[in-house]
Amino acid sequence: MARVLLLVPARTYRATDFLVAASRMGLELVVGSDGALPLGGHPVVRVNPNDPQGSVARLVAESGAVDAVVAADTPMLVLAAAVAARLGLPNNRVEAVRAAADKATQRRRWAAVGVAQPAFRIVPAGASEGALEEAAAQVGYPCVVKAVSLSGSQGVLRADDGAAAADAARRIRQILRVAGRPVDEPLLVEAYIPGWELSVDGLLTGGELTVTAVFDKPDTSQGPTFEETVLLTPSRLPQPILSGALRTAERAAGALGLRHGPIHAELRLDTRHRGRRPTMLELAARSIGGLCSRTLRFLDGASLEQLVLANALDRHVTTQRLARPAGVLMLPVERAGVLQAVHGWTQAAAVPGITGLSITIPVGQPVQPLPEGDRYLGFVFAEATTHQEVQEALRAARRRLRIIIR
C-alpha cells in the first residue's frame, strides 16, 4: 500500500476532498497540520509553517517512510517541497515554489523568457506615492495595483487615474497589515488587460503539462475589484486559441522552475491584439481553490484530488474528459458585516441542473468583501446538456438565494 504525507493547513476548503480521494485509492495517509482538525482519524504530525526547519525535522522523524508528499493548499506548498527534498521524493524545488507565490518574481521571470503578460512596474518598499503614480502612468491607464504576496484577488484593485492608484496602494497596505504581512512589501502595478478570462488546471510531470480542466469565466469582472463568479468547463474557446493558452501556461510554469505537481493558471485573451493573444495574469503551484474541484466529474469516476495524488506517486495521468458540461458559482461577499442568514436554500437547490450547494461561512461569522476579504460565502454547482443551461441554472439558483449580512 502506497503511503502519502498530506500537509493540510488549519484553514482550507480542501482537506475533506483529499481524504476522500486517498480513501478511494486505498492509500495510507500521514497528515501534517498546524490546526486541530479531525482529519478522519489519520495520525497527525503537528507543524508550524513559520518554523520550516523545525517542521521539516519533525515530519521526517515522525511520519516514517512515505512515497509522496502533497500539499492540500497554498500555505503548505513550501513545507511540502522542503520535506520532499529532504526525503529525496519528486517535488518542486523550494525556490520555484517561492517564485510562484510572489507576483513580482513571476513577472520578472516571465519577462526574461518572453511569456506574454501585462506591461508592469514593481514599486519597491518605501517608495513614495509619487513613485507609485509614475509607475502607473508608465504602464498606462486603466491599471491594476496588487499586493505581491496575497492570492485569490485579495489586495487587487483597478485604478483609472493617478489618484485612484494612490488610493489603491494605501488600501492595499492596510489589507497587508490586517493579513499579518509586511506592510512595506513591494507593490505590483500592471496594465489592465481587457478580454475573456479563463483558468487552466493541469499536472506537471518533468515539466510537461497534462491538462485536467479549462474553465471559462463568462462574467469576468472589469474592476475595481475582481471577484470570481461563474466558472464553466470544458472551455468553449476555439481550439487554436485554447492551444495557445495551454502553451502559454506551460511556458509560464517552466519559467518559474516548476516541474512537478499541480498548477492553476489564470489568463486573459487580450482583445487589443489580433487573434486575442493569451496573456498570463497569475500562476499558482496548486490545483484550483475553494470547492471548485467538485465541479469536475470525469468519465472514469476519478476526482481532481485523486489525479493530484496519482501524479505525486508518479503514476501516469492522462487528459481527462468530463461526463457533461459543468460549472460552479462562487458566491462573493457583497458587503462587510456579520452573516445573519441564508434564505432560499431549498428553492435554489431545486433549480433543474443544480447538483450541489454549500455555504462555507457559518451564520454569525463576520464577513468582508474583496479586496479586503479572502473568502467566499459558498459554492453552487451545476451540470446540464449544454453550457448555456449550466450558466442559466447557476444564475437562477443565485436569484433564489437571499443572503442577510448586517
Residue 276 lies in a domain: no
pLDDT value at position 271?
Answer: 87
| Predicted local distance difference test score (pLDDT) of residue 359 | 94
Spans of the chain, pLDDT less than 70? 36-39
Residues 164 and 81 in one domain: no
Q: For residue 32, give the 3-state DSSP assignment.
A: strand
Q: Identify the domain boundary among 68, 99, 130.
A: 99
Domain boundary among 128, 158, 191: 191
Same domain, 133 and 184: yes
Please give the pLDDT value at position 38.
60
Name the domain count of the chain. Answer: 3
Residue 368 lies in a domain: yes
| Calculated CA dihedral for residues 376, 378, 380, 381, nearest 10 degrees | 90
| CATH, residue 143 | 3.30.1490.20
pLDDT of residue 49: 77
| Preceding amide of 352 cis, omega within 30 | no
Range of the domain at 59: 3-99
Whole-angstrom CA distances from 275 to 243, 244, 271, 363 are 13, 10, 8, 47
Contact between residue 380 and residue 362 where contact means Cβ atoms under 8 Å apart: no
Q: Which of 191, 225, 247 is the last residue of a domain?
A: 191
Does residue 402 form part of some domain? Answer: yes
Q: Which residue has 449580512 as its cell numbers?
A: 405
Q: What does pTM read for this prediction?
A: 0.95
How much is the pLDDT for 152?
A: 84
Write down the pLDDT at residue 109: 98
Check whether residue 127 and residue 70 sit in a common domain: no
Tens digits of residue pLDDT in 292-322: 999 999 988 999 999 999 999 999 998 888 9
